[in-house]
Amino acid sequence: MRIEINGKKKNIPDIDISKIMKGLEVTKEEAIQIWLEDEGLLINEEQNELDKKAQASGVLRTIHDAENVKVTAKKMTGDNKRKRTVKPQPDKEYIISTIAEMLTVNGATDINIENATKIVTFVYNGAPYKINLTATRTPK
């Protein structure tokens, strides 16, 4: 829909007008006026006062800060992600290597240490097995 305001022709999307009409349950003329006020083409004193109150209360600042957090969270991909550091665990490495040695002595085949501090897979009597070593936290 094209409308002339202050000597200028302005194109108003019909979708926006229909959304305003449905959402606020107003007539087409009122929806056009609301759209023009939202775009800053018409001045609405009540809306300007509410905008000033919102700016003074700091509500807009928290809203915009929340939007910035969302944007930075989305950007945390690929190289920006924090690299995970793995602490050395010599005790677990020793236990896994000892288990692997014990399995070779006792007739297991296809022994594979998948993770030096966690997983050993092997075949015993034709059946595949997997040992997953987990360390529990010490009680406080």
The one-letter amino acid code at 97 reads S
Is 92 in contact with 113 (CB distance < 8 Å)?
Answer: no
The one-letter amino acid code at 27 reads T
Mean pLDDT of the chain: 81
Q: Where are the domains of the chain?
A: 2-80, 90-132
Which pLDDT tens digit goes with each residue over 86-119? 888 999 999 999 999 999 888 888 999 998 889 9
pTM score, whole prediction? 0.42
Which residue, 97, 91, 13, 117, is CA-closest to 3?
Answer: 13
Q: What are phi and psi of 77, to 5 degrees?
A: -130, 160
Q: CB under 8 Å to 129, separation ≥6 — which residues?
A: 108, 121, 122, 123
Which pLDDT tens digit goes with each residue over 65-82? 655 555 555 555 555 567
Which pLDDT tens digit goes with each residue over 3-57? 777 777 888 888 888 888 888 888 888 888 888 887 777 777 887 788 788 778 7
